[in-house]
Amino acid sequence: MLFFSFIKNEFSVKWQDGNFYYFNVSALAGAEQMLADGILTQEENKLELGVCRKFLNYQLPITTTEVSDTEIEDIFIRINSTGRKLSAQDLRQAGAVGLFSDLVRKTACYIRGDITEKDVVSLSKMPSLSLSHRKLNYAINLYDTFWMKNRILTEKNLRLSRDEEIIARLYSYMILGNKVSPSSNSLNKMYDSDSRQNTELNTYIENYGLLEMMDNFSKVYSDFNKIFRSVDSNFSAWLFRGEDAKGRAKVFQALFLALYNLRKSQFDISDFRKIANAIKYIGDKEFKEITNDEEWNIEVRNTAIRRITSIIQPLMTKNIKLAENNEWGLKLETLLSAASGVESQMFDFKLGLTTLQTGQRNRECVSKIVKTLTAMANTKPNEEATVLIGIANDLEHARQFRNYYGANWVQVAECYVTGIDEEIRTYWKSKEEYCNFIKRAIENEPVLSEVSSQILRNFQVITYEDKTLIILTLKSTGKPLAYAEEFYERHGSHNSKVGIGTPEFYGLFQRCSTVNLDSCNLF
C-alpha cells in the first residue's frame, strides 16, 4: 500500500541530501495521459528521474509454494510473529476461515465506516476505505470513528484491532449465551477451527444467517447511539467523570449486552433521554471493580449486565408484537457507507419528487430514475442497479431540505437520509398517492415492458430511523437496455449516451448480451 501511495505522490521521502522529495511520475509509462486524466498528480521537489526508474525496476522477491491452506496459515503466522508484529487479533483473523471470522470482520468494517458491498475492491480505491495516518491522509478519519468519538478505545488499541476483539466477545455472548468466557484464551478458541466453540459459532451463523446476525447487532448499536445522541453527548463523557477512567471497553460491553438481552425479550425504548439520564456516571457509581481494571471474567461481566438491566428495564416498554426483521436497515447502511466515494456507479439518490422552489410534482424525475437504472444495468449487468428516493445527494441539498421543511436528516457515513415524509405531509394526500404517482409514471416510461415490470415488481418502501424511503432496483435482462430507443452507460455518477454501431455499443452488447444479436429485440 505504501509502495503505491508513494508513486501517487501521497507523501514524500527524505533523500540523501537531507531534503524531502516526491516520486517523479514521468518515470511511469503513459504518465502524460494519466496526469491529463487526473489519475496522477505531480508535486514539486521531484526525485531524479533515474532514481525513480531504479525504484520501479526493483525486483520484489516472491516465493511460491504448493501447500495446504493450513500450512499457508502457519507460514503467515510465523512470518508475522517476528519483526514488526501483527496484533493477536490480526493473527486470529488472518488464520481463520469461516462464518464467525467473516461476521466479526464485516461488523467491524460496518462500525468503522470502511464496509463495502463486496469483499474485493481495486487497490486504487483502498485510500477511501483506509484509516487516516500521520503521513497518509486517507478518507476515514481515525478520530471520527465510533470507537474514538466515544473514547471506548485509544488510537493505539484501535490500530491493534481491539475493536474486533470486542465485537467477537459480543457475538460469542449473543450466540453461546452468558456462560461463554470473555477471556483471551476463550477468544483464541473461537478462531481455532478444531475447537468446539468455533464449530458451534459457525453452525449457529450458518443456520441463523450472517446478515440476520448483523441486523440484530446493528439494531442494538443504533439504540446505543440514540441514547447518547438524545443528550448530545458520548459514551465516555456521559458515563465517566474522569478523562482517563479505566475499563471503559468493559462497561461498553455490559451496556451493549444489557440492551441486546432486553431487545431480545421484546423491550423497546420509547424515551432515549430517560435511559440516558438513568445511566449518567454509571461507570463511576456502579462499576468501580471494572474501572479499577479487575479481571474481566464471566461473573464480573454477567453481574455488570444484570446491574444495568435493573436500571433501564423499568424505563422500557414490553412489546408483545414481534418486531419485523428489516434487512434493508443494515443493507442501506452498508450501501450508504460504500457510497462515500467508492462504488457510486450502481446506485443513485433522489431527494424527492417535488420541486422545492415551486412545489410542483416532478414527473421528469421519474424518467431520470428509469433512464439511470437502464444505464447502470448496461454498465454492470451482473450487479443490481439501485436508486433511493429520500436521500440528499450532498450536504448542500440536505441543508436546503432542512431550511424548506424544518426537519433534519440522519447522517450515515457521508450520506444524508432525509426521507419523503415531510414532502408527503406538505404536498401529497398520502404515502399511497405518492407511490402510485411513481408507479403510473414507470408504467408509461419508454422502455421494454419487461424492464418496467421488473422495476415495479421490486418496488420497496422501507423505514430507516423513522424516515420513509423508496427503493427502486433493476438487473440486466440479458441484453442491452434501451431508453427511448437510445442506449446509456453509467460513468461515475453521470449517464452517457452510447451510439448504435460505435465501438462502445459493441462493447456494451458483448458485456450485456446472453442472446444472439440478430435475434435480439433491443427496443
Domains, the chain, with CATH or none: 2-57 (no CATH), 88-208 (no CATH), 214-324 (no CATH), 341-393+419-519 (3.30.950)
Residues of the chain with pLDDT > 70, as a percent, come to 81
Residue 495: partners with Cβ closer than 8 Å, 6 or more residues away? 371, 372, 375, 488, 489
Question: What's the pLDDT score for residue 332?
Answer: 77
Long-range contacts of 243-246, Cβ-Cβ distance < 8 Å, separation of 24 or more:
245/283, 245/284, 245/291, 246/291, 246/292, 246/293
Average pLDDT over residues 184-193: 89
Helix, strand, coil % (nearest 5) of the chain? 50, 10, 35
Place of cell 421543511: 405
What is the DSSP-derived secondary structure letter of residue 477? Answer: -
- In the predicted model, is pLDDT for residue 93 greater than 90? no
Residue 477: partners with Cβ closer than 8 Å, 6 or more residues away? 377, 448, 450, 451, 454
| Whether the Cβ atoms of residue 114 and residue 126 lie closer than 8 Å to each other | no
Place of cell 531534503: 19
- Pairing, β 20-21 against β 13-14: antiparallel
Band (pLDDT 50/70/90 cuts) for residue 17 is confident
| Whether the Cβ atoms of residue 371 and residue 495 lie closer than 8 Å to each other | yes
Average pLDDT over residues 90-111: 81
| Whether the Cβ atoms of residue 342 and residue 307 lie closer than 8 Å to each other | no
57-69: buried (b, 16+ CB within 10 Å) or exposed (e) per residue? Answer: eeeeeeeeeeeee
Average pLDDT over residues 114-137: 50
Band (pLDDT 50/70/90 cuts) for residue 321 is very low
| Whether the Cβ atoms of residue 159 and residue 151 lie closer than 8 Å to each other | no
Band (pLDDT 50/70/90 cuts) for residue 323 is very low
| Whether the Cβ atoms of residue 362 and residue 355 lie closer than 8 Å to each other | yes
Least confident span in 5-9, 217-221, 289-293, 504-508: 289-293
Cell reading at 508: 456494451
Least confident span in 254-258, 311-315, 409-413: 409-413
Cell reading at 31: 504518465
Cβ-based burial of 226 (10 A; exposed 0-12, middle 13-18, buried ≥19): middle
Band (pLDDT 50/70/90 cuts) for residue 521 is very low
What is the DSSP-derived secondary structure letter of residue 354? Answer: B
More confident residue, 191 or 321: 191
Question: What's the pLDDT score for residue 354?
Answer: 87
- In the predicted model, is pLDDT for residue 134 greater than 70? no
Amino acid at 467: K
